[in-house]
Amino acid sequence: MQKLQAEPPFANTTLTDTENVMEAAGNRLRQAMNDVIRSDAARGMADDVAVMFMQDPLKAEHAFRDVVHDFARSVLGDAFERIDDHGGSLDVDGRTYRKVDATRGHAMTMFGSVDYDRARYRPSGGGASVFPTERVLGLTESSLTPAAAGLSLYLMANLSARESADAWVRLCGMGPSASSLIQLTAEAGRRFEDGSGDLLADLRSEEEVHEDATALLVSLDGVMLRMNAETVDGTAVEAGWREASSGVVSLLDAEGNMVQSRYFGRLPEQGKTSLKAQVSHEVFHWLERKDDLKVVAIADGARDNWAFLDTFSPDVVLLDIFHSIQHLKVAADAAFGPDSAEGKAWFETWRHVLRHDPKGAGKVIDALRYLLHKGKGNADIARELGYFRANRRRMNYSQVADAGYPIGSGAVEAANRFLVNSRMKRSGQRWGRDGGQGVLTFRSLLRSGRFDRAWAVLARSWQQWKPPTAANDNLALALAA
């Protein structure tokens, strides 16, 4: 009796003997294909393809792709039917399942939809059936193979669901529906969340510090995102705009250039708990690898951000200069009126002082005190004066720039544009928790150069054995519904 045991979602199955078997089988496959290519039939096929291209190269290439994909699907269907060989019964977590009549299965592959006969096992005494072939193949709830699911997540990280479904058709001639892609992204995101700590730690452990790195930049920021209504910790939250967050951990060379960056994006959450945890693990990992890195912290003036960033004992702390300039502009408008010539001149003068004068922050504070003394825009000027006083120690822009470090959170602003704005703030878009976080997660992995390695591990979680539900005798159909 064959036994199938439950496995951890991220169990390491990359074994040397497995690689040897894969290599040997791949070599035999390539040899067989070479024999086919050298055959008379293949040469005749090349003649026909040449005729097609001479008539209409656009239609010809699509037609040839379809023929090749038809061939691939035929081979895959035959191969999938040969996967199960458990004999008359198998054991799943101590329960015996016996082989019964096969049923038709379905898998969406990189070559399109493949139908095949799959072995079916039912438990003694009745109950829901199991299909071991689907576990071996690692099919998702939408019946995508790991390779097809990886392509789908790549597309969903960059395009809307409808655009992704259309891209599938353009690339492969057929593909999963938009609803299947949404379902996959949400489920993959949930699985990542379940094992993200271990998975990200494994990814980090494989990475070396860039040889030119001399400093580590860490930065946080927020961006407004339109969310669906949801319940958070038992409390109903209405639909509307809420603050998502992003973080960047970058290694800098001696000239202040970013030579290695890791990006993180999270949907709105209380206290940015998950974002802070991910950023912290990243920072301490790199500092353990190279303990002489200077830590540069950049953020806006939010107290919560600085309470977190101060835990790294940064060597350089800097209020993002773009935020400082925005506050300076508010003061100019309050004192002289929006768009006034006098206000523009005042703003340009003190913006230059703030950026280039080693004592710029102190001089700007004196200038704001003078405006307040003159009775210009009292309430607004007083508020901005308080802002500059509270953040004065983080406004050493001239000195920090001279040291070769960035003075603006350009990296995190770019992260907001890439992770959130360009994909998740299109006209009419609103996001739910699972689907939205799934998109942010895989966009972050892409931006960080970790997508392929992360997916290679995450995809194996679909090979984990799941006891069947008695609610539906056809487990695969229930999962694909």
Q: Which amino acid is at 27?
A: N
pLDDT value for 417: 77
pLDDT value for 111: 95
Report, as an integer, the average pLDDT of 127-155: 93
Of 15 and 412, which is predicted with more confidence? 412
Q: What is the pLDDT of residues 332-390, one digit of tens each?
A: 999 999 989 999 999 999 999 999 999 999 999 999 999 988 877 788 999 999 999 99
Q: 86: pLDDT confidence band, cut at 50, 70 and 90?
A: low
Report, as an integer, the average pLDDT of 78-92: 82
Q: 129: pLDDT confidence band, cut at 50, 70 and 90?
A: confident
417 in helix, strand or coil?
helix
Question: Maximum distance among all alpha carbons in the chain?
Answer: 95
Of 208 and 14, which is predicted with more confidence? 208
What value does the mean pLDDT of the chain take? 87
356 in helix, strand or coil?
helix
Of 37 and 146, which is predicted with more confidence? 146
Instruction: For residue 333, count other CB atoms closer than 10 A to its CB.
Output: 17
Report, as an integer, the average pLDDT of 427-432: 88
Q: Is the pTM of this model over 0.95?
A: no
pLDDT value for 339: 86
Strand partners, 375: none
The structure tokens 């892609």 sit at 181
Q: Domain residue spans in the chain?
A: 2-176+455-480, 321-407
pLDDT value for 170: 93
Cβ pair 358, 398 in contact under 8 A: yes
Of 236 and 376, which is predicted with more confidence? 236
Asked whether the predicted pLDDT for residue 481 surpasses 50, the reply is no
Of 422 and 57, which is predicted with more confidence? 57
pLDDT value for 465: 60
Report, as an integer, the average pLDDT of 133-153: 94
Asked whether the predicted pLDDT for residue 420 surpasses 90, the reply is no
Report, as an integer, the average pLDDT of 40-61: 90
Cβ pair 73, 111 in contact under 8 A: yes
pLDDT value for 7: 41
